[in-house]
């Protein structure tokens, strides 16, 4: 009698585990991952709190973190590259249907030359700014939950403070940097910032990693 009860408990538990696994598998199959691969993992770099290595593919919802000495470079397709700087945290919500990069803290730079989302654009979000990106070069730094820096390095990007209802297209041939900072009422105030946290050489090196160049005499039109 006791053996039969134990057997029944085991079987029921197994059925529940199979059902849960089946649900998760269906969910994963419905979200096709972007063709995103880590091509550089220097210093402390983790994906979902597991040490990352070059050659690892990224999936929707992955959380990439870097330590004080960490740098992570991600190539998406053959003509797009992102780089995460030190002491940063990025949520990778990119797939065939998803199109968001959530920078919770730290530094992110990118060169986009071939759109890799079905919507024709992707969003970069920090606690204070939302950027709609098609084809351009950029640098964004989330310095705190109250303040972010965004630079349109070369191209055109629609930028919007997180408390705003409408964004504004910002175009630059050679760096247009802005601060997005919350005031005491929680409203985001935009101010000129100039060139901070990065330089021409760093963006040019990113572009070169995907066999592209930056023409600083005119904005990208990709």
* Helices (H), ranges, the chain: 2-30, 200-208
pLDDT tens digits, residue range 170-201?
A: 999 999 999 999 999 999 999 999 999 999 99
Could you tell me how many helices (H) and strands (E) the chain has, helices first?
Answer: 2, 15
Same domain, 178 and 69: yes
The tally of CA atoms less than 13 A away on the side-chain side of residue 61 is 4
In a domain, 218, yes or no: no
Q: Is the pLDDT of residue 15 over 80?
A: no
DSSP state of 33: B
In a domain, 84, yes or no: yes
Q: Are 73 and 43 a contacting pair, CB within 8 Å?
A: no
Residue % of the chain over a pLDDT of 70: 83
In a domain, 4, yes or no: yes
In a domain, 220, yes or no: no
Whole-Å CA distances, 107 to 70, 88, 96: 11, 6, 25
* pLDDT of 34: 66
Same domain, 20 and 72: no
Q: How would residue 137 be classed by pLDDT, with cut points 50, 70 and 90?
A: very high
Residue whose structure tokens are 């210093």: 43
Closest CA relative to residue 142, chosen from 66, 212, 89: 89
- Read off the CATH number of the domain in which 80 is found: 2.60.120.1440
Whole-Å CA distances, 200 to 85, 88, 207, 214: 16, 21, 11, 9
Same domain, 40 and 52: yes
Same domain, 163 and 119: yes
Q: Is the pLDDT of residue 73 over 50?
A: yes
Q: Is the pLDDT of residue 158 over 60?
A: yes
Torsion 104-108-112-116 (CA) sign: negative
Same domain, 66 and 151: yes
Same domain, 1 and 64: no
Same domain, 11 and 43: no
Same domain, 152 and 106: yes
In a domain, 155, yes or no: yes
Same domain, 6 and 86: no
Same domain, 18 and 38: no
Same domain, 24 and 46: no
Number of domains in the chain: 2
179 compared with 30, residue with greater pLDDT = 179
Average pLDDT over residues 57-68: 97
CA distance 179 to 192: 6
């Amino acid at each position: 009698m006791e053996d039969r009860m134990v057997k029944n408990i085991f079987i029921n538990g197994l059925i529940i585990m199979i059902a849960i696994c089946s649900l998760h598998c269906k969910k994963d199959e419905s979200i096709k991952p972007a063709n995103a691969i880590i091509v550089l993992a220097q210093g402390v770099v983790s994906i979902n709190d597991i040490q990352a290595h070059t050659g690892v593919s990224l999936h929707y919802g992955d959380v990439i973190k870097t330590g004080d000495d960490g740098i992570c470079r991600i190539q998406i397709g053959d003509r797009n590259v992102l780089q995460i700087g030190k002491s940063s945290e990025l949520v990778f919500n990119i797939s065939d249907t998803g199109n968001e990069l959530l920078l919770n803290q730290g530094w992110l730079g990118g060169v986009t030359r071939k759109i890799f989302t079905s919507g024709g654009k992707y969003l970069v979000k920090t606690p204070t700014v939302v950027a709609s990106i098609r084809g351009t070069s950029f640098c964004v730094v989330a310095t705190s939950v109250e303040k972010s820096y965004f630079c349109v390095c070369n191209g055109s990007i629609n930028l919007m403070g997180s408390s705003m209802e409408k964004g504004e297209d910002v175009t630059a041939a050679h760096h247009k940097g802005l601060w997005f900072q919350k005031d005491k009422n929680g409203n985001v105030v935009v101010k000129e910032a100039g060139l901070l946290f990065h330089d021409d050489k760093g963006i040019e090196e990113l572009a070169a990693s995907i066999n592209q160049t930056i023409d600083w005499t005119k904005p990208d039109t990709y």
